[in-house]
Structure 1
């Protein structure tokens, strides 16, 4: 039976409660019986889901939103020090808890699996949550995206397993003490917080060092960054590697595309297993094998977990089909790092063959564009044509000289057909002028580009 409610969090107030990570923790606390409150910049389906669980969700940020008897205020690294609710918390002497500490408290007394890596965390965490649920193990989970099924980013389950996405962006994943940790890949990203690959490796080493005694690190054998991390750890933790490399402990023998699914065959402990992954692309197949290895490390029989992984049908914004109009499919992709962009475009190419792929790309963060703009442009060369929007700033202030032009110039140098567009409202009309029956349109990025899918479909249908 899962533990109950941490007493210090019986009346939490979340600043930015609608965010993917924050809302998940708020949902679990509400499901455990806490009196949850919080605020967010705008209303959303997430806010409405929280209200349905009994939470109070205020719109906008104001000191008056914070109740005097709140037991703690939960924040993420994105909350600025001058936030009026944070200032009010200091005045009232209410403890401020980082999101990662709140999540760590929820995992106390359970058997946590923490999923880390530069890319693929949400998908892999989701695959585990769905497969373990399919087997009747009733896991708790906290994910950075909404599942297609069972339709939420978080759940308080009655079982002993807790599956959590472990975010390296601000080093907050150092808070967790998992029984099993997954490292999918290790690359340079989050340039505002990491100045070099050495800092990235040190951060992941610290994360691996938090695995409980007798626990297991599941780590990729095919990514050089992950292999380097394995070398640096030098046997300090029990390690299970997975991938197509000949020396992988869980070796992938084949990934056979079958339309928008794949058939995956692995050898594990001398036994060959073949199972279906219900989303396209080699990288999603690798994520599924990571999930398989992690579940097995926790004692779930691989022969049962492998077929259960087929129950995973996707996460919102991870190659999510938004619809079809005038013979044109529109799919939404969260990819915002060049590696992710390349993987999703290759997955789509494998799935649709000779059909044209049109991309609407919105760069995410000035710092990421400054460091990786050239590589983003090169990735877009895999599409038949692209529309590139202005940079979505998220939590960042502009950096002089850093614009989408860095990506556009690199894309054109790589031979890509690119159309710059500053007004997002013009996208549906522009795409309608470009798209032909049989084409695939991919809205791509971690910002509000996701809102364009329905608008493009609406325009195409006219």
Structure 2
């Protein structure tokens, strides 16, 4: 078994239950490290880590930091005044960013890093599932659970390491992949990027990190990705090899057709002069394109395209990415992680194709004050694609409130676009409200990156009542 890097033989994770942090911690436990950490509250991720032998404390206090900690691992969300972080610095314990810890785990492997403003978790998951089904046993680290809690990462015996590469804080600059995927390039993460030009510069730095002889797989359709491709080619970079994919006629891997069949799609592509057809077992054109990116990237690593195409059909979704939560009284409830207008539009269009009998209703929770301030109007326009929606108050996550920035920015824009939209200032009232609007044949989406995911089962309870 591959051992943990020497500096991480007994790491302490602050915020160990987070999506990215818990995956790294799990892989380290599987490599024999003595993993400890803390988190603000109990969660399924914390429970899963304890089952793997990690020591997890609830709450943040300097006493949780063991004397023999070899390093302290943090994410960009950890505030400088965190007592465990302050104690580590006072005691001279090395502080390692989450991305650097993941980069260390990739050493000695063939890394495949998936980047882009949207779709990273889905595409990384598609690769992990399909490569595992082919018996290649990859290691992987994903920003969401495949199915059960703790399934977001695994130490495999194969040579391939598939990782989600987060651009939000520029931490993806730590990676040196053999193959990189860039799904799209859009303005987001307003607390860290002041303009689209800054984001382009950040992605170009990521491209320059691809290993010599490596490959960049990048969208030929999305405007930001096309512009980045033009910049890379204009710079005259000999590396990496650029492989474009998409519906565009000039795509290297061209999508010829995407035919929806309820909650699945049939995809036909042209690859190296021949046609190849396969099934994607999740709805929506954007998920089909994610699968094509995964296929192109896997082929760049030497995985036979025919085999990978068949294996991609074994992927049936990931937690919170159009994940069915149940059905009651003829109403289906589905959970969506979408929180950016582009993601919201894509998921609503996908569900619209699948909802052949009834209406599409959305229970939406905005995520972050900064994102709502910059993109609230576009979120409202996206909600106009639903037949009706209920909007919760903003989920703050790591941010402090911003004067004048509320859900009203979204609600007003949605109503201006002709949408039927309601406000639920008390989250506990929202499940009954949306359930009362639903009729047999309808589809209800709980949508957002915050704790709105907890409301799906409550909606089902009210539908049953």
Q: Output one character per residue of 1:182-215: Cα deviation in whole Å (capped at 9) or x when no partner.
A: 0000000000100011100000000000000000
- Asked if 1:35 corresponds to 2:1, the answer is no
Maintained 8 Å contact 2:114/2:124: yes
Deviation of residue 150 (structure 1)? 10
1:284-363 aligned within 5 A: 284-363=287-366
1:30-429 aligned within 5 A: 30-148=29-147, 152-234=151-233, 235-236=236-237, 237-429=240-432
Give me the whole-angstrom Cα distance separating, in 2, the residues matched to 1:89 and 1:123: 35
Q: Secondary structure at the match of 1:25?
A: helix
Give me the whole-angstrom Cα distance separating, in 2, the residues matched to 1:53 and 1:67: 19
Deviation of residue 355 (structure 1)? 1.4
Q: Secondary structure at the match of 1:87?
A: helix
Maintained 8 Å contact 1:149/1:313: no
Maintained 8 Å contact 2:45/2:150: no
Maintained 8 Å contact 2:389/2:420: yes
Deviation of residue 148 (structure 1)? 2.5
Give me the whole-angstrom Cα distance separating, in 1, the residues matched to 2:135 and 2:15: 33
Deviation of residue 384 (structure 1)? 0.4
Give me the whole-angstrom Cα distance separating, in 2, the residues matched to 1:179 and 1:361: 38
- Asked if 1:447 corresponds to 2:446, the answer is no
TM value normalised by structure 1: 0.99
Give me the whole-angstrom Cα distance separating, in 1, the residues matched to 2:305 and 2:148: 22
Q: Secondary structure at the match of 2:158?
A: coil
Give me the whole-angstrom Cα distance separating, in 2, the residues matched to 1:43 and 1:118: 29
Give me the whole-angstrom Cα distance separating, in 2, the residues matched to 1:440 and 1:312: 22
Give me the whole-angstrom Cα distance separating, in 2, the residues matched to 1:12 and 1:461: 46
Q: Output one character per residue of 1:73-117: Cα deviation in whole Å (capped at 9) or x when no partner.
A: 000000001101001111211100000000000000100000000
Give me the whole-angstrom Cα distance separating, in 2, the residues matched to 1:150 and 1:260: 24
Q: Secondary structure at the match of 2:37?
A: strand
Query: Which residue does the alignment assign to 1:430?
Result: 433
Cα distance 1:135–1:447, how it changes in 2: closer, same or farther (>3 A)? same
Which piece of structure 1 moves more, 428-437 or 395-404? Answer: 428-437
Q: Secondary structure at the match of 2:371?
A: helix
Considering only aligned residues, what root-mean-square deviation do their CA atoms show, in Å? Answer: 1.0
Q: Could you list the runs of 5+ residues in structure 1 that have no partner in the other structure? A: none
Maintained 8 Å contact 1:250/1:268: yes
Deviation of residue 4 (structure 1)? 2.4
Deviation of residue 321 (structure 1)? 0.3
Give me the whole-angstrom Cα distance separating, in 2, the residues matched to 1:101 and 1:393: 27
Q: Secondary structure at the match of 1:416?
A: coil
Deviation of residue 149 (structure 1)? 7.3
Cα distance 1:23–1:149, how it changes in 2: closer, same or farther (>3 A)? closer
Maintained 8 Å contact 1:30/1:36: yes
Q: Output one character per residue of 1:366-425: Cα deviation in whole Å (capped at 9) or x when no partner.
A: 000010000000000000000001000001111111111000000000000000110000
Deviation of residue 26 (structure 1)? 0.1
Deviation of residue 432 (structure 1)? 2.3
Deviation of residue 3 (structure 1)? 3.8
Give me the whole-angstrom Cα distance separating, in 2, the residues matched to 1:323 and 1:109: 42
Deviation of residue 354 (structure 1)? 4.4
Q: Could you list the runs of 5+ residues in structure 2 that have no partner in the other structure? A: none
Deviation of residue 5 (structure 1)? 1.4
Q: Secondary structure at the match of 2:313?
A: helix
TM value normalised by structure 2: 0.98
Deviation of residue 353 (structure 1)? 2.2
Q: How many residues align?
A: 461
Give me the whole-angstrom Cα distance separating, in 2, the residues matched to 1:58 and 1:439: 43
Maintained 8 Å contact 2:269/2:277: yes
Q: Secondary structure at the match of 1:311?
A: coil
